[in-house]
Amino acid sequence: MKSGSLSSVVALAAIAGVASADIWDNGDFGANISSVGGASGSDVYGQSFIAPADNVLVQFGMWLAGGGADAPAVRIDLWADDGANNPDETNILVSGTVHQGDLADLTRIDTFTSFALTPGDRYWVVINGIIDQNSTGVYSSTWDGGTNTIPDGNMTWSNDLGGSWSGGIANGDFGVYIETVPAPASLALLGLGGLVATRRRR
């Protein structure tokens, strides 16, 4: 390997090492939200967050338990905001991980992505139950009991396929996992991977 290439690798590794992830993880509240998804449950449960500066969303998840013998399919998505501080069911930014099955314990269902966030914009992590309106089972999820653990975030849900939204609970946040990394770190890691791949091909 040429010395210039080695210097580039060291520099990129240093940049990647300095950059740190932002993580919001607030799911340890028990299964205290009922009737998620399925024919008789709420169609959408959403938790919003405000994007940090120049960050890339790499992982997000929400918690589920139960489902029953006829567990419905639900999907953990990222939705845009509709401009009125509600999820926009017509603007699904990341169609995420689908889960269908009975869960004995509260389990976080994660979606992995590499989505560049617009700083200051509001986004929604969503349990999307619109995809299965036939199964009769429902899940439980979790919320923080009103302590507002997500800065500038809020929770809401819809029982009519996103036609209307109701916060229901005066304050608080759903249990979610949200992980972002600074965009320059993502680029540095991609560059580092490219240099390593180039080295291996020689």
Q: Give the chain's domain count.
A: 1
Looking at the domain assignment, is residue 160 inside a domain? yes
Q: What is the pLDDT of residues 124-177, one digit of tens each?
A: 999 999 999 999 999 999 999 888 889 899 999 999 999 999 865 657 899 999
Number of neighbouring beta carbons within 10 Å of residue 118: 11
Identify the pLDDT of residue 169.
60
Q: Is residue 196 part of a domain?
A: no
**pLDDT of 19 higher than 70:** no
- Amino acid 17: pLDDT: 44
Q: Does a structural domain hold residue 200? A: no
Give me the mean pLDDT over the 171-186 stretch. 86
- Say which residue the tokens 């399925």 belong to: 38
| Residue 156 placed within a domain | yes
Flag whether pLDDT at 6 surpasses 50.
no
Asked if residue 9 belongs to a domain, the reply is: no
Q: Which residue matches tokens 């791949």?
A: 197
Domain enclosing residue 105, as ranges: 21-182
Domain presence at residue 12? no
Please report whether residue 29 resides in a domain.
Answer: yes
**To which residue do tokens 């959403």 refer?**
46
Q: Residue 51: which CATH number?
A: 2.60.120
For residue 193, pLDDT over 50 is answered with no
- Per residue in 82-119, pLDDT tens? 999 999 999 999 999 999 999 999 999 999 999 999 99
More confident residue, 16 or 20: 20
**Three-state secondary structure along the chain?**
CCHHHHHHHHHHHHHHHHCCCEEEECCCCCCCEEEECCCCCECEEEEEEECCCCEEEEEEEEEEEECCCCCCCEEEEEEEECCCCCEEEEEEEEEEEEECCCEEEEEEEEEEEEEECCCCCEEEEEEECCCCCCCCCCEEECECCCCCCCCCCCEEEECCCCCCCECCCCCCCECEEEEEEEHHHHHHHHHHHHHHHHHHHC
Is residue 6 in some structural domain?
no
